[in-house]
Amino acid sequence: MATASTLQDQQPPFPPETGLRELRIYSHSTLFYWWPVWVTGFIMAFVTYLGGRQVAVGNALEWYHPGPNVGLIFTMVLFLTVLITNVTFRGLSSVVVVLAIVLVTVVLAYFGWWEEIIRWLPAFSVHMNLGFYLLFSTLIFVLWVLATFVYDRFSYWTVRPGQMTHNYVLGGAERSYDTQGMVFEKIRQDLFRHWLLGFGSGDLRISTMGAKREEIYVPNVLFVESKVQLIQRMIAERPNQFATPAV
């Protein structure tokens, strides 16, 4: 659901002793939501190492797990991650998807078809060697770290009492907005992306006031609920409200 707030709805400003005078907001790429892929890959590599067997492939010995489910689990996690990060299920559509999954599960259990599906699992056996899990998971992990902690921080928003600024690290460019009358909407309707993979992340939609109105969209903000609450309290302050007078 989306919730909007203006200056009329603000909570009381921060007391002087908090010392919070600036809040940074980072917009993350969808690669942030790929953490289940590298986590599952490293787990499957560990499982393969513990319970695997060495199989001769050409002149080399490769580690493979004999069970059919290790590779199948990794494949399904990869598939679902690609689906969730590229197809948005907002509002009613996410509810429909959840209800459809529950309905299919109940129907299969009612007719006793789960046993048949389990019998078919060996036919979908997927085997990947230890080297694949380690290499693929490491590459995804490196990309995830670079995107989350480096690339996504090249551009960020700074909120101060009375002012919001869009900062660009490369080039040092800045663009500032007056927060007077500004409207913030937190959009967190994608059940799977925002809640399942993002641990309560969400999107921000900001509407500016004045002669030239703009609508700013900041996607994939982590801990969006707490950040919006802090923003609401900060923009309610006057810029010099707690400033120390000159001596």
Contact partners, residue 59, CB within 8 Å, separation at least 6? none
Range of the domain at 23: 2-30+153-235
CA gap 149, 177 in Å, rounded: 26
Regarding whether 54 and 101 lie in a shared domain, the answer is yes
209 lies in a domain?
A: yes
247 lies in a domain?
A: no
Q: Is 53 helix (H, G, I), strand (E, B) or coil?
A: strand
Q: Is the pLDDT of residue 152 over 50?
A: yes
240 lies in a domain?
A: no
Tokens of 160: 């101060």
Regarding whether 135 and 49 lie in a shared domain, the answer is yes
Q: Which of 101, 116, 149 is the last residue of a domain?
A: 149
What confidence score (pLDDT) does residue 93 get?
62
Please state the domain count of the chain.
2
pLDDT, tens only, 100-140 = 766 776 776 667 776 676 667 666 677 899 999 999 999 99
The model's pTM: 0.74
Regarding whether 142 and 163 lie in a shared domain, the answer is no
Regarding whether 6 and 52 lie in a shared domain, the answer is no
Regarding whether 26 and 37 lie in a shared domain, the answer is no
